[in-house]
Structure 1
């Protein structure tokens, strides 16, 4: 295994089998996750993503896991349009998380909360209370922007990032940012330049990121099922890493995000390359740990299969079957 690829893919894919377009029943999704946890490729797998409304439904399936291979969860908090409802919902969600932990002990690890922010003008007091409460429950928290992808999106994005950054500078309880990179229809996909603005905005403010939706395939490509081009997870994370290491601007980062040629992306033993830009494995590890955390995907099989078809990922079994000349 190439060190650079291992650093890039380690715990990269949070399993979101419950969500569109796969939308599996809970029974099938959680049993899939239990199988994935014991496979050779488990090193690429992150937590199982579960809406807080379905958390208790996982109780009968905890027996599929153990202290050695616990059920690792990222919980999605409930949505609320009004500040009071949002704060009250947060307290109820955190109580549910704590009760589930207490009931199941070391067989369950709930480490992350993904929370859609209310569509209001953010104030530091609100973020401080939010971050303090989630940190008290040992949750790594990512905030998602509630704003349509219209002409005001970037303005709303930067305002939100400024608020998060101002909070993070003053408090030990750090907040991250979650970017939605797609959906089930064309209008749900941000443009490469919009994704670049989010990456550069978080880089400049030292905000950790995770991504969700639309990143089923490694390389950006047109897909009939959504009627538009889908972002590639190699594009997104390579763009983010190169932006951090080489101090790229939005235009340069957009070029990586928009690239549809898989031959421009390569992993050597010690580095990742896009064209002439090189990111060493040590830098990949550092950026992944601090800033580019993971992405949610409704399939764990599809990304792996695509990487194999591109000749990027091989298992030991694959290598034993290959004939080299």
Structure 2
């Protein structure tokens, strides 16, 4: 059994994004995988199934593998929009679809959260529209924005009960944010008590170069661990960045008492 500190760090921390690269599966096999995962001994790590709102209809006939004991827990993914009016319409469509999908499959489907990129423009205005549209849905909400505007967006989210979603990779080198950008997001989120989640690129425990993308891919132990220790010890961005740059797996120690990284 994994050490207690590792279980604490990774408990329900990994959402399954089988519809997206690198797996890039069709919906049916992705749902079959999720059904197997919720019955596995590693279920303790599993978060929600990332399901675009646009695929709710396609998913309905494929829910036989789930039941009350092994429910399909969903993170509903809204589309990327560019203009305020488009953003509002997409939110309205998503809110209606979430209610219908959840109410139509109670006991089998549980929609845990909603995530969506923010449009360009003032964050406060977009959040006001979102609150008015999603207000009666009891969901965790995470808003995505580019890494270069992460700190500003997180500051705007402070006190809103919403979280921030940071993209940590992709299929090309330019999709990966720098360690400095991730460190700034982690420290800012800790300072403002804004929940943060990550998407894409965190396929390895520790930072490593990967030929498929031609750059170093961030490690999930680096990122999640740095988030915890930065909050616990009030780290600076520089100190946080040092942990994000760690490439030695032996530097991460987990036991039943605590998680440690080098001398911390």
- Asked if Structure 1 and Structure 2 have the same fold, meaning a TM-score greater than 0.5 normalized by the shorter chain, the answer is yes
| Equivalent pair of 1:142/1:176 in contact (CA under 8 Å) | yes
- 1:138-197 CA distance string (max 9 Å, x none): 11100000x4x6xxx2xx3232122111x52xxxxx110001000000000001111000
SS at match of 1:50: strand
With structure 2 as the length reference, what TM-score do the two structures score?
0.96
User: Contact 1:49/1:74 (CA < 8 Å) preserved in 2?
Assistant: yes
Bigger Rg, which one:
1
2:185 partner SS: helix
In the TM superposition, residue 49 of structure 1 has moved relative to its aligned partner by 0.3
Equivalent pair of 1:134/1:141 in contact (CA under 8 Å)? no
Is 1:45 matched with 2:46? yes
Equivalent residues of 2:150, 2:166 under 8 A apart: no
1:57 corresponds to which residue? Answer: 58
Aligned to 2:237: 250
Matched, 1:143 2:143: yes
Cα displacement (A) at 1:121: 2.2
Partner of 2:106 in structure 1?
105
Asked whether the 8 Å contact 1:73–1:108 carries over to 2, the reply is yes
Give the structure-1-normalised TM-score.
Answer: 0.79
For residues 226-241 of structure 1, the aligned pairs below 5 Å read: 226-241=213-228
Give the Cα separation in 1 of the matches to 2:12 and 2:155: 28
Q: Is the contact made by 1:178 and 1:210 (CA closer than 8 Å) also made in structure 2?
A: yes
Higher helix share: 1
> How far apart are the structure 1 equivalents of 2:4 and 2:154?
33
Q: Which has the higher contact order (CA 8 A, sep 6+)?
A: 1
Inter-partner Cα distance in structure 2 for 1:52 and 1:116 = 13
| Residue number in structure 2 paired with 1:266 | 253
Tell me whether 1:133 sits opposite 2:120 in the alignment: no
RMSD: 1.2
Cα deviations across residues 97-147 of structure 1 (Å, max 9, x unaligned)?
A: 111111111111001001100011223x431331353341111100000x4
Partner of 1:79: helix, strand, or coil?
coil
Aligned length: 263
**Structure 2: how far apart are the matches of 1:236 and 1:131?**
29
Cα distance in structure 1, aligned partners of 2:198 and 2:78? 16
Is the Cα contact below 8 Å between 2:123 and 2:156 reproduced in 1?
yes
Structure 2 SS opposite 1:273: strand
| Maintained 8 Å contact 1:97/1:110 | yes
Unaligned residue ranges in structure 2 (runs of 5+): none
- Larger mean CA deviation between 19-28 and 254-263 belongs to 19-28
Q: Hey, what does 1:204 align to over in structure 2?
A: 191
Could you tell me whether the CA contact under 8 Å between 2:113 and 2:141 is conserved in 1?
Answer: yes
Alpha-carbon separation, structure 1, partners of 2:151 and 2:246: 25
